[in-house]
Structure 1
C-alpha cells in the first residue's frame, strides 16, 4: 500500500472553507494541497476542509473510468442496456470478459478507492487530537468532532463495501501512516473480515451521527445516521446471500438485521417517496426520498459533461451532440419489464413474442424516449445546464449520483419477505409500487403465486425502479436470478466466483503480497 499513501499525501486535494453564506457548508470549499500536521489540523476550518476532500476523493473514485460505479453495478448485466464500440473495449464486460487491456488497467485497478480510504484514515487519526481551543469557533466542539468522524467512518465503510462486491477479498487498511514509505505492503484480507470492518465502521458512525443535519446545505450529500443504516441494510443482504455462493439459503441472522435496519430508516429517517408528478426531482437530487447522494449539482459547479446520463442522450437533449449516443436501452428490456400479456407472432422467419407495453407506468413514460426505434434512449438523467446559456454552449448534466434512496429500501423489504418464505407480503409490496407508479392493473401479481415466481417479479420491479442506479447486477447475484438476465453467467461460473473482477497486474509490481482473483488466475 506504500504507493497509494505516498500519492495521497503528495496529490490529494482537500478543501478550505470560503463560505458564500453565513453557513459553513462542506460543498462551498476550495482546493488546497496540504495535509501536513504542522500546517493543518489547526482549526475547525481545516477539519471541515479535510472531510470535504474525503467526499471529493470518493466522487473521483466512483466517476473515474467511464463512471465505474455504473460499469460494475449495471453495465455488466447487459440485458438492461448496451454500449456501442468506441475502441476502449468497455463493451467486452457485457459479454463477461473482463480481460480487455483497457478494462484491466482501469476498472480492475482499485487505487482510487484506497486514496479515499487513506483520507478517511487520516481524518480519523487527527480529528480526535484537536482541542476545544482549536475548535473554539464551533458552538459544540464535541458534536463537531463526532460528526466529522462519523462521516469519515461512513466514507471508509462505503468504499470498502463497494470494493468487496467488486473484488471480494481486498487489503484491509484502517491505520493512517505519517510516513507512507513505512506503510506495510498488505495482502488481500478475506471478504468476511472486510465485511465485518464495514459493519463495525457503520455501528461506530451511527453512534456519532444524527438523523438530521445542522446545515440544510449538507443534506443528502453528506452522511447522517440514515446514510449509515442504508449502507448497513445492503451490507447485511449481501453478506446473507454472498458469503457462501455454493449455498442458496441466506444467512437468516443477517436477513433479520437488514429488516430491523430498514424498519428504522422508514420509521425514523423522515424520508418520503417523491410524488410521481415530480418524478425527475429524485434524480436531480436532494429529493424527499434521497438518503445518500454524491453531489454532482452544477449549483456548486460539480455538473459534468461525462456523467453516465450523457452517454445516452442525443442532440435532441444536448445541443451539439450527434444523433447516435454511445449507450442505448435494449428493446428486450422494455418488453420484459413493461410488457403486458402478449402473444407469439410469426414474422415469416421466426416466432417473436409481442406484448403491448405498459405505457401508463411513470417509469416507462419518464425514463425512456425513442421507444419505437431499435435504440431506445434513457432520459432518467437529463437535467441539462448550459454554462453559456445565451449560446447554449458548455452543456453539463446537473444530476446527483443517487447511492441510496427510500424506494430502494422499501423494495428490499420484499426481498427480505421472500427470504422469510412470505411471498404474500412481497407481492403486496411489489403491487403497491406498480399501483403507485400508474402501472396497468394487468401488471398486478395475483395472490397465491409461488416464492420463485414472485422473486422473478421482484427482480423485474427492481429493474424498473432502480434502472441505472448501480444496483441491478448485485441484485441479480443476491437473488440468484442472474440466469434469466446474464447469458454469460453460468451456474458453474457463479459458484467459482466468476462474478468478481481480476486485479490489475500493475498493482502486483508495487506489492508482491497480492494474489490474483482465483477465477482469473491464468486469464489475466
Structure 2
C-alpha cells in the first residue's frame, strides 16, 4: 500500500509539474527525483497512469486560456461568431491584432503543448525499455507496449500539428531529457521540418496501433489507427497548400497522399455517419462517426464549466447565464450559409429567438451537479477533433485541387440532401473556382465551431470571404501566424519572433 501511494503521489506530482510549472527551461518538465526513477515505470499500471496523464496534459493545452483550440481555429475568423468584451481583451483577436498583453501571455504562449510533448517523449523512452515481464499483467505485453508507444507518437504529432498551424516554425524536441535544467535551449526549426516530424510520427503510430480497442471505454477518446490516419490526412492537405503561400497551386503529391489516406480510413475504419435524427449526439461524443475526441464527459465527472459551448448559452439553456452571453453567432453567418431554414444543422444547431444574438446549440448537453436547485452547471460535450463527416467533406476539397469539379459537386450535394429535405443544390457544370466557393460554404455549415474553419479558409484561399482583417498582402507575408509570447525569449536567446510580428511585439 505504501508503494502504491508513493507511485500515485509521484504521478500526480509529475502531471502537476508538467501542467503548471513556469520552469526555467520552458520546453521541458522539471527534473524527476530519485524516488520517481526507482519506483515508477515498473508495471503496466504505471504505464497506464502515465498515458492518462499525457491525455490530460494535451486536453489542458487545447482548453486552457479561453478554449484556445476554438480561438485559433474559429474565433479569429471573426464573422462566424462574436466575442463580447469581458475585461480581458480577448475580443482583440477578431481584428487580427494579437498584441493585446493578455493574448500575448496566453494564446501566444505554446508552453502547454510542450508539456504534453515532454510527456510523450518520456513515455517513448521509458516504455520501450520495459521488459515483457514488467508488463506481464497484460494479456499481450508486446501488443500493450506497441499500443502505448503508438498513442505517444500520435499525441506528439497532434501537439506539433496544432502548433505548426498557429506559429509555423517551431523548436523540435524529440528527446526525453533526464535533467531538463541542463538540456540545450533550441531555436525554431522551419515548418517543413516540423511537418516532416508530424508525418513520420503518424506513420509510426499507424504501424503500432490497431483499428479496434481492447477496452470499450477507450473508444474514440484514445488514439487508434483511425485517429492517426485522420491526422495524417489533415497534415497532407495543410502541407499541400500552406508550405508556400506565395503560390495558390497545391502540391499534388501531398494532395494524392491525403486522398489515399482518407480512402483507407473510410474503407477500413468502420465509421458511419450519425443519423440526422440524432444530430446532436455527434457532439455529445462517442458517436458512430467519431474518430478522435477529447473526453469532456460528466459520466466520468470530467464535464466543463468553462467550455466554448457554455459561452454561447443564455438563460434559456443554463440557469444563471442571463441573456447576454460572452459569445454569439454572427447573424450574417446564418444568412450566408443557410439558403433554407429546414437544414438540420440550422434547426438543431442554432436558436435564433434573439435574432441579433443567435445561440449556437452544438454543445448544449447541460448537466447540473445540483439538479434539484439547478446549480453547478457543467457541459458534457466531448471536443470532437476528427470525425467521419469532416473526412468525407475533405474528399471534395481534394477533388477540386485535382480539377475535378463534378466529383466535388456530387459530394457537396450528398451532404445537402442528407441534411435538408429542401436542399439548394450545386448546379452541375460549374467551374472549379465556383464549386470551391460552394465547398467553403458547406464546410462552414458542417464544421461550425469544431476548430477547423479558419484553417479551411487559409487552405482554400477563401479567407477573403470571411476574415476581413486578412488582406492578401498580409496573407502573403504569413500574417495569419501568431507571434511568440515575448516572455519565452527571456531564457532562450536562440528564439526568433514570427517574421510578420517583428517590430510589432
Q: TM-score, normalised by structure 1?
A: 0.90
Per the alignment, in what secondary structure is the counterpart of residue 74 of structure 2?
Answer: helix
Q: CA deviation at 1:182?
A: 1.6
Query: Residue in 1 aligned with 2:8?
Result: none
- Checking the alignment, whether the CA contact within 8 Å between 1:8 and 1:118 is kept in structure 2 is no
Per the alignment, in what secondary structure is the counterpart of residue 185 of structure 1?
Answer: coil
1:257 aligns with 2:257: yes
Distance 1:449 1:406, change over 3 A: same
Count of equivalent residues: 482
Query: Residue in 2 aligned with 1:487?
Result: 468
1:514 aligns with 2:495: yes
Q: CA deviation at 1:35?
A: 8.7
- Checking the alignment, whether the CA contact within 8 Å between 2:18 and 2:116 is kept in structure 1 is no
Among candidates 411, 415, 418, match of residue 393 of structure 2: 411
Distance 1:372 1:497, change over 3 A: same
Q: TM-score, normalised by structure 2?
A: 0.94
Per the alignment, in what secondary structure is the counterpart of residue 464 of structure 1?
Answer: helix
- Give runs of aligned pairs for residues 207-226 of structure 1, distance below 5 A: 207-226=207-226
Query: Residue in 1 aligned with 2:17?
Result: 11
Per the alignment, in what secondary structure is the counterpart of residue 118 of structure 2?
Answer: helix
- Checking the alignment, whether the CA contact within 8 Å between 2:271 and 2:290 is kept in structure 1 is yes
Query: Residue in 2 aligned with 1:206?
Result: 206
CA distance in 2, matches of 1:372, 1:110: 37
- Checking the alignment, whether the CA contact within 8 Å between 1:34 and 1:40 is kept in structure 2 is no
CA distance in 2, matches of 1:118, 1:438: 46
Query: Residue in 2 aligned with 1:352?
Result: none
- Give runs of aligned pairs for residues 41-440 of structure 1, distance below 5 A: 41-339=41-339, 358-370=340-352, 373-440=355-422
CA distance in 2, matches of 1:332, 1:260: 36
Describe the superposition over 1:86-112 as per-residue Cα deviations: whole angstroms up to 9, x where unpaired.
Answer: 111111111100000000000000000
Per the alignment, in what secondary structure is the counterpart of residue 109 of structure 1?
Answer: coil
Per the alignment, in what secondary structure is the counterpart of residue 386 of structure 2?
Answer: strand
Q: CA deviation at 1:49?
A: 0.5
- Checking the alignment, whether the CA contact within 8 Å between 1:294 and 1:401 is kept in structure 2 is yes
- Give runs of aligned pairs for residues 440-459 of structure 1, distance below 5 A: 440-441=422-423, 443-459=424-440
Per the alignment, in what secondary structure is the counterpart of residue 348 of structure 2?
Answer: helix
Distance 1:447 1:145, change over 3 A: same
CA distance in 2, matches of 1:288, 1:269: 11
- Checking the alignment, whether the CA contact within 8 Å between 1:304 and 1:398 is kept in structure 2 is yes
CA distance in 2, matches of 1:509, 1:53: 29
Per the alignment, in what secondary structure is the counterpart of residue 148 of structure 1?
Answer: helix
Q: CA deviation at 1:36?
A: 2.2
Describe the superposition over 1:457-504 as per-residue Cα deviations: whole angstroms up to 9, x where unpaired.
Answer: 000000000000000000000000001111111110000000000000
Per the alignment, in what secondary structure is the counterpart of residue 77 of structure 2?
Answer: coil
CA distance in 2, matches of 1:412, 1:90: 31
Per the alignment, in what secondary structure is the counterpart of residue 367 of structure 2?
Answer: strand
CA distance in 2, matches of 1:374, 1:388: 32
- Checking the alignment, whether the CA contact within 8 Å between 2:297 and 2:380 is kept in structure 1 is yes
Where structure 2 has 5 or more consecutive residues not aligned to the other structure, the ranges are: 1-12, 21-32
Deviating more after overlay: 35-44 vs 483-492: 35-44
Per the alignment, in what secondary structure is the counterpart of residue 355 of structure 2?
Answer: coil
Among candidates 485, 490, 497, match of residue 478 of structure 2: 497
Per the alignment, in what secondary structure is the counterpart of residue 461 of structure 1?
Answer: helix
Deviating more after overlay: 363-372 vs 210-219: 363-372
Per the alignment, in what secondary structure is the counterpart of residue 293 of structure 2?
Answer: strand
Q: CA deviation at 1:510?
A: 1.6
Q: CA deviation at 1:390?
A: 1.6
RMSD: 1.6
Per the alignment, in what secondary structure is the counterpart of residue 248 of structure 1?
Answer: coil
- Checking the alignment, whether the CA contact within 8 Å between 1:13 and 1:53 is kept in structure 2 is no
- Checking the alignment, whether the CA contact within 8 Å between 1:331 and 1:371 is kept in structure 2 is no
Describe the superposition over 1:216-242 as per-residue Cα deviations: whole angstroms up to 9, x where unpaired.
Answer: 000000000000000000000000000
